[in-house]
Structure 1
Amino acid sequence: MSSPVDRFDSVDLDRIIEMAWEDRTTFEAIQAQFGISEPEVIAIMRHALKPSSFRMWRKRVSGRRTKHGMTSRSSRFRASGHH
């Protein structure tokens, strides 16, 4: 089986890394857009980041509820006039 890094071009990898770095973007959103699991996102981040940056990112996202989907309805993508 190939590495998740090998399955994407540089543009997609940059977007995956950007989405993974954002605190408000869930692993589920990344999976919906790119079809990769949380462990595959972690593998991409491990490959792309310096070791110290990877550790800092993992510490930040480990156990973070916002990285694992919302427990209530998210209004992030709802238009401001539709509450």
Structure 2
Amino acid sequence: METSETNSEFTERELDRIIEMAWEDRTTFDAIAFQFNLKEQEVIALMRRELKPSSFRMWRARVQGRSTKHAAKRTFEKGTFKSSRQKQITHNKISKR
């Protein structure tokens, strides 16, 4: 099967990153495909193999039908949502340590 051959080419660090991206709400399957050349079904197979069964079921329930995981279903163009009530960060001295 092509999926297992494809996944065996990834380092442990890359696998961790793919799993992390798959868990992130706003990271689309298209972004994972662009970066790691994995289709949505291959990501699902990877998650099924790498996660505990209960974790996989939780992840599937979370992402199934989630519009933010599919670029075509998103209601915003690109980037992340920013509330109009969110304050602007200016003169941030902490970042200049």
TM-score by length of 1: 0.83
* CA deviation string 1:28-49 (max 9, x = no partner): 1000101110000001100111
Instruction: Tell me how far apart the structure 1 counterparts of residues 19 and 79 of structure 2 sit (CA, whole Å).
Output: 23
Unaligned runs of 5+ in 1: none
Name the SS of the counterpart of 1:63 in structure 2. Answer: coil
- What residue in structure 2 maps to residue 7 of structure 1? 9
2:62 corresponds to which letter in structure 1? R
Q: Which has the higher contact order (CA 8 A, sep 6+)?
A: 1
CA distance in 2, matches of 1:57, 1:27: 14
Alpha-carbon offset, residue 72 of structure 1: 3.2
The structure number with the bigger radius of gyration is 2
Q: For residue 72 of structure 1, what is the aligned residue in structure 2?
A: 76
Counterpart Cα distance in 1 of 2:38 and 2:19: 12
- Give the partner amino acid of 1:54: F
DSSP-derived class of the 1:47 partner: helix
User: Which runs of 4 or more aligned residues in structure 1 lie more than 2 Å from their structure 2 counterparts after TM superposition?
Assistant: none
Q: Does 1:31 align with 2:33?
A: yes
How many residues end up aligned between the 2 structures? 77
User: Normalization by structure 2: what TM-score?
Assistant: 0.72
1:42 and 2:47 correspond: no
Greater alpha carbon shift after TM alignment, 65-74 vs 55-64: 65-74
Pairwise CA RMSD: 1.6
Identity of aligned residues (%): 61
